[in-house]
Amino acid sequence: MVDDTRERTRAMHASMRRNVVPALSAGLIALVAACDTSVTNPGPTPDDFLNNPDAFAAVVAGARRTLSDALNTDRGAFTLYWSAAVTFEINPAGSTGSFGIPVDVQSGSVDAGTSNAPWGTANEARFVAEDAIRRFNEIGASNALLAEVSLFAGYANRLLGETFCQAVIPPPDGGFGSPSPHTDYFTRAEAHFASAVTLGTGDIQTAARAGLASVRASLGNWGGAASEAALVPDGFVFQAAYSDQDQNQFNALVWANGDAPYRAHTEWGTFAEAYSFFLEPNDSRINIILPGPGDPQTGDAGVAKFGGQVPWHRQDKYPETSSGVNLSSGWEMRLIEAEAALAGGNAGPAVDLMNIRRADLGLALYDNTVSVDSAYSLLKLERQLELWLENRRMGDLRRWINAGTPGVVTDGLYVDNDGPDGVSSLDGSTDDDGLTESGPVETMTNPVARALCFPLSANEIDTNPNVS
């Protein structure tokens, strides 16, 4: 019995040595191998990599790109596009969703939900530029790079200040910011532009001076604005760049009207069209194209507000999806100087400054003996024409109203009251309804007060405990 047991035990041990041990070993090897889960996926760049000075140029390019995106791309926001619709620089021609004008914007208001993309991407542009300044200061970067990224930080803050009703600036040590007056962005922009003026050279420095002048104007510092503006030559232009290589980089105002398939907005019924067709056909600042015989004649869908489809008249200030948008220009500087003069009660010098541009365009010069109030009306018209479709109008209207600036504005809906077929001729004639065609049928205040700024976004309200 004992021998049998020993024999069985020996046989079992032999079996284990021969069969079980190798199988168990193989299993254990498999278990150990199973624990290796390390993977490096190419593509996204870890944050630490941006601390390499060789990457700084791309960091600066990122600041510039996010600024362009925040202003006017599909990747970013349609801030320029929608603010143009609120201020009647364009009218809706169909789509409301993709590349279209939302219903609230069509009616002249901007819901907090609609504000999500404009608010978010403008803050992203500010963050990217200011984070780059922080990174460059910590690691050390050239003055040229610091100047350039400071310039974009300035423009990003100016975009926020000119577009939104309030500011929310996060504390330097993290956490959530609290609502404050929108002019806080101008103050912040002023510091960035000033830094860029100090550190930069050439076009960067000139653009920074122009930016500095514009935000000082918004802050009512007319002396400081005029002094910087005076250093910017007439023909200087600094633009937000766009590209036709990728839809993400397209000028969205163009793409939304590119007839492929979108014909989402129109110049039909705008002051710009009335001005261009009837008041001053020779002003090259306003470019509008009417459809040819073979082209679609109307927008891409019905517009509820107009009860159907409306004529499709395209802006041609930006002919290509790669057309840049002015962030600053010398001609804007002349108008800042003119407005500074008006702020000092000097109508004649102000009109003379406006006439520099009109002479350059070959237009009739304004009478420089007009009153200050009349000169303000001319200034408001000139800024409307000079800065057409540059996302500046809403900010202008707000600061003029806030400051109680004299003069009239012409923003509105200029259509024949008979329906979507006619354009107001502004000639004082009587239309089929017996109404005089000499002004807009809607204005920024009639029948409803239209928005002068975008509200804080729904996302900000939802996520920031300091905002309600």
Partner 1 sequence: MRGFRSYLRRESRAWRVASSSGFAALGLALALLLVATPAAAQTGTVQGTIVAAGSGLGISGAQVSIVGTDIGTATGRDGSFVLLNVPAGQHTVRAVAIGFKVGTLQLAVQGGQVTQADLRLTRSVLELDAVVVTGTAGQARVREVGNTIGQIDLQATVKDPPQNVDQLLQARVPGLQVMQSNGNAGAGASIRLRGPVSTSQSNQPIIYIDGVRVRSEGYRRNGPPNGIDFIGRSGNIQSSPLNDINPADIERIEVIKGSAASTLYGTEAAAGVIQIFTKKGARGGAPQWTAQVDQGFARTLPFGTAGDDFVRLAPPDNSVGFCPDKVAEGLAQFEAGGTLPDLSTTINGVGAPACSWLRNGWRQKYSGSVSGGVGDFQYFLAGGYEDNEGTLPMDQEQKVTTRGNFTFSILDNLRVDWNTSFTNFDVFNTPAGNNAQGLTLNAFRAERNYRQSNNPYVIDSLLNQEITTEINRFISGGTVYYTPVSWFSNRVTIGWDQAQQENRNLRPFGFVSAPEGRLFDEQISFTTLTFDYVGNVDYRASDEFNGTFSFGGQSITTEENRIFGWGRGFPGPGAPTVTNAATFISQEDRIRVVNAGFFFQNVFKFRDRWFLTGGIRVDGNSAFGSDLGLQAYPKASLSYVISDESFWPASLGEVKLRGALGWSGRAPGAFDAVRTWEAVPFAGDPAFVPDNPGNPEIGPERTREIEFGLDAALVNSRVSVEFTWYNQKTTDALFSVRQAPSNGILTSRTANVGAIRNAGIEASVNAAIIDSPNWGFDLGTNVYTNKSLVLDLGEAVPFGAGGGWVEEGFPVMGADGLVIKNPNQVAEPDSLCIVGVDPCNASGNYIFGPQQPEIIWGINGTVRFPKGITLSARGEYQGGAWIFDSAADNALSRSVIWPLCANAEAILAGGGTVDQFTARERVECQTPISSRADDALWFPQDFFKLRDITLTIPFGTLIPRTQSATLSLSAQNFVRWINSDLRMFDPEMSSRNSLDEQNREISEHIPPPAVFTASLRITF
- Taking a C-beta distance cutoff of 8 angstroms, is the pair 242, 324 a contact? yes
- Taking a C-beta distance cutoff of 8 angstroms, is the pair 347, 377 a contact? no
Instruction: Assess 1 for contact with partner 1 (CB under 8 A).
Output: no
The residue among 69 and 337 lying less far from partner 1, judged by its C-beta, is 69
Exactly one of 169, 237, 279, 290 binds partner 1 (CB under 8 A); that residue is 169
Exactly one of 2, 4, 5, 33 binds partner 1 (CB under 8 A); that residue is 33
String of contacts with partner 1 for each residue 129-148, x by CB under 8 A? -xx-----------------
Segment 301 to 360, residues that bind partner 1, using CB under 8 A: 301-305, 307-309
The residue among 23 and 139 lying less far from partner 1, judged by its C-beta, is 23
Report the C-alpha gap between 404 and 95 in whole angstroms.
37
Exactly one of 3, 5, 41, 433 binds partner 1 (CB under 8 A); that residue is 41
Q: Which stretch binds partner 1 (CB under 8 A): 137-145, 411-419, 425-433, 459-467?
A: 459-467
The residue among 42 and 362 lying less far from partner 1, judged by its C-beta, is 42
Instruction: Assess 23 for contact with partner 1 (CB under 8 A).
Output: yes
Report the C-alpha gap between 103 and 86 in whole angstroms.
11
* Minimum gap (Å) between residue 427 Cβ and partner 1: 29
Exactly one of 3, 5, 37, 362 binds partner 1 (CB under 8 A); that residue is 37
Segment 209 to 268, residues that bind partner 1, using CB under 8 A: 241, 243-249, 259-262
| DSSP code per residue over 163-214 | HBSEEE---TTSS---EEETHHHHHHHHHHHHHHHHH--HHHHHHHHHHHHH
| Rg from Cα positions in the chain | 30
- Taking a C-beta distance cutoff of 8 angstroms, is the pair 229, 213 a contact? yes
Exactly one of 91, 257, 298, 323 binds partner 1 (CB under 8 A); that residue is 298
- Taking a C-beta distance cutoff of 8 angstroms, is the pair 139, 164 a contact? no
Instruction: Assess 20 for contact with partner 1 (CB under 8 A).
Output: yes
- Hey, CA dihedral for 356, 361, 366, 372, is it positive or negative? negative
Instruction: Assess 35 for contact with partner 1 (CB under 8 A).
Output: yes
The residue among 166 and 221 lying less far from partner 1, judged by its C-beta, is 166
Instruction: Assess 446 for contact with partner 1 (CB under 8 A).
Output: no
Report the C-alpha gap between 208 and 221 in whole angstroms.
16
Q: Quick one: DSSP state of residue 101?
A: -
| DSSP code per residue over 135-150 | HHHHH---HHHHHHHH
Instruction: Give the three-state DSSP class for 26.
Output: helix
Q: How many CA atoms lie within 13 A of 220 on its CB side?
A: 9
Q: Which stretch binds partner 1 (CB under 8 A): 185-193, 218-226, 295-303, 399-407?
A: 295-303
Residue 131, judged by CB atoms within 10 A of its CB (0-12, 13-18, 19+), counts as middle
Q: Which stretch binds partner 1 (CB under 8 A): 24-32, 216-224, 228-236, 428-436?
A: 24-32
Instruction: Assess 183 for contact with partner 1 (CB under 8 A).
Output: no
* Minimum gap (Å) between residue 199 Cβ and partner 1: 21
* Minimum gap (Å) between residue 448 Cβ and partner 1: 12
Number of C-beta neighbours around residue 179 at 10 A? 17
Tokens 């996060």 belong to 170
* Minimum gap (Å) between residue 396 Cβ and partner 1: 24
What are the CA-CA distances from residue 228 to residues 234, 327, 336, 345, 385 (Å)?
Answer: 13, 16, 10, 20, 22
User: Residue 35 corresponds to which tokens in the numbers above?
Assistant: 């624990």
Exactly one of 79, 83, 87, 121 binds partner 1 (CB under 8 A); that residue is 121
The residue among 362 and 468 lying less far from partner 1, judged by its C-beta, is 468
Exactly one of 143, 144, 165, 170 binds partner 1 (CB under 8 A); that residue is 170
User: Residue 189 corresponds to which tokens in the numbers above?
Assistant: 């922009």
Segment 63 to 102, residues that bind partner 1, using CB under 8 A: 64-66, 68-69, 74-75, 94-99, 102
Instruction: Assess 397 for contact with partner 1 (CB under 8 A).
Output: no
Instruction: Assess 404 for contact with partner 1 (CB under 8 A).
Output: no
* Minimum gap (Å) between residue 249 Cβ and partner 1: 7
User: Residue 38 corresponds to which tokens in the numbers above?
Assistant: 């390390």
- Taking a C-beta distance cutoff of 8 angstroms, is the pair 409, 444 a contact? yes
Q: How many residues bind partner 1 (CB under 8 A)?
A: 102
The residue among 38 and 404 lying less far from partner 1, judged by its C-beta, is 38
28: left (phi over 0), alpha (psi -120 to 50) or beta: alpha
Report the C-alpha gap between 116 and 80 in whole angstroms.
14
Q: Which stretch binds partner 1 (CB under 8 A): 30-38, 192-200, 416-424, 441-449?
A: 30-38
* Minimum gap (Å) between residue 97 Cβ and partner 1: 6
